């Protein structure tokens, strides 16, 4: 389950704290990026931090929460309205809000709202996956892959991958941004996935390397030194094939 990034907007500090503490006690996968005391402050933080969802109080001084639509040409985030009055829920649904909560917030309703949002976000990710697939087929080129991580998924440019190392039934991917990524897919998965006309080479039963990043090959120690001080292995039986590939 991916972490949901959220912003809380409520003019009452106590209400912001109550919702924040409730989210923590429910052990929900929600990261609070900011707590805002007014709609203009909330709008500023939304534009800066790009949250997945905004918990938005309906009744606030100067601006009602549902007036948020006046500040955006397009809203690429979801809204969960928080209100002390049921009547305002109608306004929320007119804005296609994901859900609404009535104060005092019920723990089970909060969990239900987050689960509903999570399901929606997962569907949006699947749509992006299919769009990536469609673009690759149309262009007849493969420049990136969708990488299953532990609890997440990310899109990686193939050129940014230095090497992939087997880690039991998992794989560790070394990239040019200095941050290895662990994924639940094994090395065979990537060997089958990577296009044949790329610079990737299966050097060992535990390694796939990107030939672009090879710096030193040591035949006696059966090691290949890659960019960023990464040392990969090469099987003795793979040397001939390796030499033919890099010529």
Residue-wise pLDDT tens digits, 202-239: 999 999 999 999 999 998 999 999 999 999 999 999 98
Residues 6+ apart with CB under 8 A from 110: 22, 23, 26, 28, 101
Residues 220, 229: Cα–Cα separation, whole Å = 19
Residue 148 DSSP SS3: strand
Pull the structure tokens for residue 152.
Answer: 């997440």
DSSP helix/strand/coil, 207: strand
Among 31, 33, 35, residue whose Cα is nearest residue 56: 35
What's the whole-model pTM score? Answer: 0.56
**Res 197: pLDDT:** 72
b/e map 109-131, b = 16+ CB within 10 Å: ebeebbeebbeebeeeeeeeeee
- State residue 13's pLDDT score: 95
13's tokens:
């500090």
Furthest-apart CA atoms within the chain: distance in Å: 77
Q: Read off the pLDDT of residues 131-148 as tens digits, 9 standing for 90 and up.
A: 766 666 666 566 777 776
Task: Please report the pLDDT score of residue 94 as a whole number.
Answer: 53
Alpha carbon of residue 76 to chain centroid: 15
Q: What is the pLDDT of residues 165-212, one digit of tens each?
A: 999 888 999 999 877 888 888 999 888 888 777 799 999 999 999 999
What are the two backbone dihedrals, phi and then psi, of residue 151, each rounded to the nearest 5 degrees? 80, 10
User: Which of 27, 31, 35 lies closest to 57 in space, CA to CA?
Assistant: 35
pLDDT bin (cut points 50, 70, 90) of residue 246 is: confident
Please provide residue 48's backbone torsions phi and psi, each rounded to the nearest 5 degrees: -80, -45
- Asked whether residue 26 carries a pLDDT value surpassing 80, the answer given is yes
CA dist., res. 150 & res. 197, Å (int): 29
Q: How far apart are CA 213 and CA 235, in angstroms?
A: 18
Which carries the bigger pLDDT value, residue 244 or residue 223? Answer: 223
User: Is 90 exceeded by the pLDDT of residue 119?
Assistant: no
């Amino acid at each position: 389950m991916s972490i949901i990034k959220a912003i809380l907007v409520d003019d009452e500090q106590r209400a912001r704290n109550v919702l924040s503490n409730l989210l923590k006690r429910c052990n929900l996968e929600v990261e609070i990026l900011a707590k805002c005391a007014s709609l203009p402050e909330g709008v500023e933080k939304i534009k800066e931090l790009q949250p997945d969802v905004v918990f938005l109080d309906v009744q606030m001084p100067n601006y009602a929460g549902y007036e948020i639509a006046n500040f955006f040409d397009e809203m690429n985030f979801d809204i969960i309205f928080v209100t002390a009055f049921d009547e305002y829920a109608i306004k929320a649904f007119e804005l296609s809000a994901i859900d609404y909560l009535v104060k005092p917030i019920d723990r089970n309703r909060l969990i239900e709202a987050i689960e509903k949002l999570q399901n929606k976000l997962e569907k949006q990710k699947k749509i992006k996956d299919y769009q990536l697939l469609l673009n690759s087929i149309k262009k007849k080129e493969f420049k990136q892959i969708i990488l299953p991580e532990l609890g997440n998924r990310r899109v990686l440019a193939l050129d940014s991958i230095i090497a992939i190392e087997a880690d039991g039934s998992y794989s560790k991917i070394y990239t040019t941004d200095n941050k290895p990524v662990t994924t639940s897919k094994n090395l065979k998965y990537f060997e089958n996935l990577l296009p044949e006309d790329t610079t990737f080479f299966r050097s060992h039963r535990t390694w796939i390397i990107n030939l672009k990043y090879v710096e030193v090959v040591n035949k006696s120690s059966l090691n290949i030194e890659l960019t960023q001080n990464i040392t990969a292995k090469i099987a003795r039986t793979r040397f001939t094939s390796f030499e033919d590939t890099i010529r």
